Each structure stands twice: as structure tokens, then as C-alpha cells.
Amino acid sequence: MDRMKTFLTYVLLIIGFFAISILLENGLLMAMYSRIMGEFDGYYATTNSKFSIDNARAKACNVNGYLSFDLINTTGKFVDTCYVKIDLYNEQSLLADTEYIETKGMQPGDTKPFNIKFKANNIETFRISIVPNAPDKTNIINILGWEIDLTNVFGLGIDLSNVTIFGTKLTDIFSWSNIRTTGQNFWSWFIRFAAGIPLWGYGLGWLVIVGLL
């Protein structure tokens, strides 16, 4: 009986320790975020009228943040497609990042909630606007946060937009499914290549490896 009580005491202590750890961790994370201010320009050139927003909330720490708001179609007209443009400015008031979010089929008076998470350093302010189109990023790849335009790599006039690696375009390769497809294509190519090597070629390669040639 005493052993059972001791065991239950240890279990309760462990559960309490984990609960306190989670609370302290969440409290620390929340303390790292501070409120950021912004402005909203609801003018929509396509209809020559304005959108509105409500319940805007935004917080950021030194590496990321989040922004939430409700977009209200107060233009008085049906809007088939438009884009919410979010400009993020750092503590030096320099543009650090821009996000575009597509929204479709908004009847007059419709409200759509938005919750955006972003990764950018030391964001202090934001600006929300409504635009009819987003930039064409068909030939742009993102590597570790760097956007590279394959039609003009690093401004050197080098066009790699149509280059493929084992059947996958460079613009499409940076996703898990396409990486897997590229790997499968590479493996198939390697098998065909290895099957085409004559036996004497393998023998010669082995002699080179063991240092006899």
C-alpha cells in the first residue's frame, strides 16, 4: 500500500512538473511578443471604392510574428478576386517583407477573417492595402529566405527559367513531392547508366579504387 502511495506521489509530481514547465514556457513565449502598430489603406482601384477592416491585432518578436483581422467588403460591389497586400517594416522603418493573400468571391457586406504568421526580423509596423493583382512569381524560387529570379539570376542576365534537373524545373523542385520525384528520376537514370557499363569497366574501376592503377 505504501509503495502504491509513493508511486502515485511520484506520478503526480511528474505531471505537476510538466504542467508548470508548459505554463512557464508559454508565458515566456508570450512575453517575447510585443504589440506592433499599423495602418490600413482600403482603397481598391478596380471599383474606385473602399474596403474596411475590423478586429486588427498584431504582435511580433525579433524573428517572427502574427497578424489577424477581419476584411469587410464595404465597396458596395461584388469583388471576384483581389489580394490583401501586407508590407512589414522593421525598426529602421525599412521594408522587410511583403505578403500577398488572395481572396475571392466577396459579396457586398461580406466579412472574411485573416490570420497571418510571418517570419521577419524586428518588425515594428505594418501596412495593409488591397490590390487587384499580385506579382508573378512563376520563375522565382525561395532558398533560405532569398528570392532568386531565374529569368535574371543575381542581375547577371542569366536565364535559368527553363532549366530542369532530371525532369523537374528549378522553380518546382523545392517541395517534398518534387524532391522525391527528382530523386526517383535520378535513381532511374543511375540504374540505366550503371546497366550500360561493360563488365571490364567495373573491373578497371575496382583496380583504380584499390590503387593498382
Mean pLDDT, range 173-195, rounded to an integer: 62
The pLDDT score that the predictor gives to residue 137 is 63
Distance from C-alpha of 62 to C-alpha of 40, rounded to nearest angstrom: 23
Helix H or strand E segment including 203: helix 199-210
- Model confidence at 135, pLDDT cuts 50, 70, 90, reads confident
Whole-number pLDDT of residue 132: 92
Query: What confidence tens digit (pLDDT) does each residue in 95-123 have?
Result: 888 889 999 999 999 999 999 888 888 89
Task: Give yes or no for a contact between 98 and 116, defined as CB atoms under 8 angstroms apart.
Answer: no
Three-state DSSP state, 64: strand
156's grid cell: 547577371
pLDDT (0 to 100) of residue 106? 93
pLDDT reported for residue 213: 47
Which element (helix H / strand E) includes 53?
A: strand 52-60
Instruction: Write the secondary structure of the chain as one string of H (helix), E (strand) and C (coil).
Output: CHHHHHHHHHHHHHHHHHHHHHHHHHHHHHHHCEECEEEEECEECCCCEECEEEEEEEEECCCEEEEEEEEECCCCCCEEEEEEEEEEEECCCCEEEEEEEEEEEECCCCEEEEEEEEECCCEEEEEEEEECCCCCCCCEEEECCEEEECCCHHHCCCCCCCCEECCEEHHHCCCHHHHHHHHHHHHHHHHHHHHCCCHHHHHHHHHHHHCCC
Could you tell me which residues come within 8 angstroms of residue 43 by beta carbon, excluding any fewer than 6 positions away? 49, 50, 129, 130
Copy the grid coordinates of residue 199.
563488365
133 residue type, one letter:
N
pLDDT tier at 19, thresholds 50, 70, 90: low
CA pair distance 169, 166, nearest whole angstrom: 9
138 is written with which cell numbers?
A: 512563376
